[in-house]
């Protein structure tokens, strides 16, 4: 059974809506606009949390990776660097790599918190 959902009113330009509809018409992974927008928002939040993008939407990429992707663009594998980033992020999302990274980060934080808790107890002795 699905969790109850809340209804949200969203203002969006006609051009933006046409862009969404165009994407939906070529991508069967999404059943409707609501699902597409909901998943897009969650993906954006995930990307912010794991540091792929910053709060000002700047992508942080290792220079070696960026150089490799620029070569792939030059060789015609991607239309642009942005296209390469988009394809990689979408593939990572579809293969649960992003959720795996988030889970790993969560476990790291829990481990650090337990360590700090143990040190605090030791300091109190």
Q: In the prediction, which pLDDT does 62 show? A: 76
Per-residue model confidence as pLDDT tens for the chain (125 residues): 456 778 889 899 999 999 999 988 888 777 888 888 888 888 877 766 666 666 666 667 778 888 999 999 999 999 999 899 889 988 988 888 888 888 888 888 887 777 777 666 655 65
Half-sphere exposure of 55 toward its Cβ, with a 13 Å CA cutoff?
A: 0
DSSP of the chain, one letter per residue? -PPP---------HHHHHHHHHHHHH-TT-SSHHHHHHHHHHHHHHHHHHTSB-TT--B---HHHHHHHHHHHHTTSSSSHHHHHHHHHHHHHHTTHHHHHHHHHHHHHHHHHHHHHHHHHHHH-
pLDDT tens, residue by residue, 6-23: 888 989 999 999 999 998
Q: In the prediction, which pLDDT does 1 show? A: 41
């Amino acid at each position: 059974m699905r969790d109850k959902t809340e209804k949200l009113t969203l203002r969006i330009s006609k051009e933006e809506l046409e862009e969404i509809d165009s994407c939906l018409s070529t991508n069967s992974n999404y059943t409707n606009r609501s699902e597409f927008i909901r998943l897009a928002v969650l993906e954006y939040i995930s990307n912010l949390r794991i540091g792929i993008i910053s709060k000002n939407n700047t992508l942080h990429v290792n220079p070696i990776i960026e150089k490799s992707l620029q070569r792939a663009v030059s060789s015609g594998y991607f239309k642009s660097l942005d296209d390469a980033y988009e394809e990689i992020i979408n593939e990572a999302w579809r293969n649960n790599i992003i959720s795996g990274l988030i889970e790993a980060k969560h476990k790291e934080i829990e481990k650090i918190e337990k360590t700090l808790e143990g040190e605090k107890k030791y300091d109190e002795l």
